[in-house]
Structure 1
Amino acid sequence: MNVLNSTTPGMTGISHELDEPGFAMVEDLCRKAFGFRLFTILANDPGAGEICRVYSSNPADYPSGGRKPMGRTPWGEGVLRRGRAWLGDGEDALRWAFPDAALILSLGCEACACAPVRQGDRVIGVLSLCDVRGSYAAEDLNGLGALAQLLVAPLGQL
């Protein structure tokens, strides 16, 4: 079970067990609709300017609790602050967006689709899929965005 608690940096005072069955359901829906090599759910921590991984299809390489300083990046401006979905295809796009691009690329992933999880006017998290180059198209972002909204309840507890 993925749990964030008072020892999770930046998430002080939280002791909720996260809705892993709900996360697994969204993972299964994404697998069927889009496919992926890596599926992650990330909580937005705007005060720290970071996102915190709360669920991963690959816990060996991308364990829960991992953090990225994404809030103050161009990617973060678009996805976390403006609430826009993001599609990256190719090594250059991933290197532009992610400080851990080398690890993503080492998994054979050169495409990434990210959809914000919105609660009202706030982005509380991100649903992210990674796969081989050419796996996702702009037309996929609306469907991915709809699936991301299934995460509002569990991420809203944070």
Structure 2
Amino acid sequence: MPTANASTLTSLIANLLDTLADTRSAEDALLEVDLRRRQIAGESVFSIQQNVTTGRDPADEIRLRRLYSSVADDYPVNGAKRKTLTPWTECLFLQGRVFVAEGSGALARHFDDFDQMRPYGLQSVINVPLLQGNLCYATFNVFGTRPRWRQHEVLGIRLLALAAARWVPAAPGLAYRFTGVPLTHSMEA
């Protein structure tokens, strides 16, 4: 499938937003987002990870659970993992910033499960934090087979993440790991 170029990105995103306005289920919405992801990023792997960290988890850990996966056979929905504080977690969870890494060496440095990714030929990633206030309640993740992203692809993935955010619930009991304030309190402030 040929990927969208910079000039077609606007119509692709506008079409998605129109489609999502009539979509009633999260499953259907995320399938639509996934279709556009393939049009923007081409050969890639896509997932959404919910932050399911609670006040009972160790202070230096973030617990994640997969809400959506484009390759569910190898990365199943509801699969869970723990992450410690690293430049990756600090970028997404402390700073609320998009993380872009390019080149298989960069992936190997930032992802302890890179050996599991290797068979897919993945060489680059765009991770977008889904935020409520300062709380990263989920991450929108696209791993590409090309060594470098084009500027319009990064923008397109970021826009897809924003469009998907309304369909991604915050986990019950989610605690803002670094202040101990539960999500419900941070939203009332």
Question: Shorter-chain TM-score: what band?
Answer: 0.7 to 0.9
Matched, 1:149 2:188: no
* Equivalent pair of 1:118/1:149 in contact (CA under 8 Å): no
* Equivalent pair of 1:115/1:128 in contact (CA under 8 Å): yes
AA matched with 2:70: S
Inter-partner Cα distance in structure 2 for 1:52 and 1:28:
22
Give the structure 1 partner of residue 145 of structure 2: 132
Give unpaired runs (5+ residues) of structure 1. 1-17
Inter-partner Cα distance in structure 2 for 1:81 and 1:117:
12
* Equivalent pair of 1:71/1:80 in contact (CA under 8 Å): no
Secondary structure of the residue that 2:75 maps to in structure 1? coil
Structure with larger Rg: 2
Matched, 1:41 2:48: yes
* Equivalent pair of 1:39/1:129 in contact (CA under 8 Å): yes
* Equivalent pair of 1:88/1:94 in contact (CA under 8 Å): yes
Give the structure 1 partner of residue 98 of structure 2: 85
Matched, 1:30 2:43: no
Matched, 1:96 2:103: no
Give unpaired runs (5+ residues) of structure 2. 1-24, 172-189
Secondary structure of the residue that 2:168 maps to in structure 1? helix
From 19, 27, 32, the equivalent of 1:20 is 27
Count of aligned pairs: 141
TM-score (norm 2): 0.67
Matched, 1:75 2:75: no
| Aligned-pair CA distance for 1:61 | 0.6
Q: Which protein has the bigger helix share?
A: 2
From 107, 117, 131, the equivalent of 2:120 is 107
